[in-house]
A and B are shown apart, each in its own frame.
Chain A
Amino acid sequence: MSDAKASANERPLSPHLQVYKPQLTSMTSVLHRATGVALTVGLVMFSWWLVAAAIGPEAYDVFMNFAGSTLGKLLLFGWTLAFYYHLANGVRHLIWDTGLLFKIENAYRAGYVVLLLTALLTGMTWYCVLSYTGQYASLVKTETLAEAVIEGRAR
């Protein structure tokens, strides 16, 4: 590049999403960031859980009712997936930081292991959660109007 002026606006651009076909290596990288952001949002629910427990039984029940609702369970399932994916792929990144697994076939192999582990661990976790169904359902506190009246919270 001898002409500095012309090159100022035509500097080489590294290949990006519109240039490359989606590949396992790029998609796992994008997913790592996406799940990281999702888990950050999850931290807000995590803090609701702890703060509610510190406030008292009623605030805690409000949280548990939400966690046990369909929406709550759906969110928790999503965060479980994101958690295991980010954990497994994070370890893959830490291994890369040591200089290992850079051969393309090894990077792919580790990528498949990450996806497999994510599915396996999420499945195992929710199998355990749902096998507690009795206990889990009980956390959705069914409060009748009569009970609320007795406790003076409704008229």
Chain B
Amino acid sequence: MKMKWENHGIKTPLARARGLGAARGAVENWIKLRVTAVANVILSVWFLWFLSQTVGASHAEFTVKLADPRNAICMILLIISAFMHAVLGNREIVEDYFHNEYFKIFKLVGMYLFFFAVALACAFSVLKIAFTVGV
């Protein structure tokens, strides 16, 4: 049986590469997903503690707690790690289940734009509170 990559002929390299799969980006994504997973496990412990300290808190109490550099740093780390993990995980799901190429690309681009914006809003909010409360 002749394999796809054996049909040289007059095809361009791009035409031959198409359909053969990813070009070495997958391992990096796989590792990133695991590293952010480990980071999420560690930061979750802090997050649960932080929630236990702030559940039902007033705005003043909450912002003072969040403005503590130790908490602000952990929150920003959590934002980065959680959003990276979410984007990578959702990407895996979209790639597995959406087979219409245009729809898939539309979903992925939309996802990247949306999550980048939301993550940036979160991080900016934490910084704003950290730099303005109790100064």
Contact = CB atoms under 8 A, between A and B. Distances in A.
Interface residues of A, number: 36
Contacts, number: 81
A110 interface: no
Interface of B is mostly: helix
A54 B128 contact: yes
Interface residues of B, number: 36
B80 interface: no
A47 B118 contact: yes
B56 A97 contact: no
B86 interface: yes
Interface in A119-139: 125, 128-129, 132, 135-136, 138-139
Interface of A is mostly: helix
Contact of B125 (A51, A87, A94, A139): A51
A36 B125 contact: no
Interface in B57-100: 57-60, 62-63, 66, 75, 82-83, 86, 89-90, 93
Interface of A: 1-2, 4, 7, 33, 36-37, 39-40, 43-44, 46-47, 50-51, 53-54, 56-57, 60-61, 83, 87, 90-91, 93-94, 97, 125, 128-129, 132, 135-136, 138-139
6 contacts: A33-B93, A43-B83, A43-B118, A44-B118, A53-B129, A87-B40
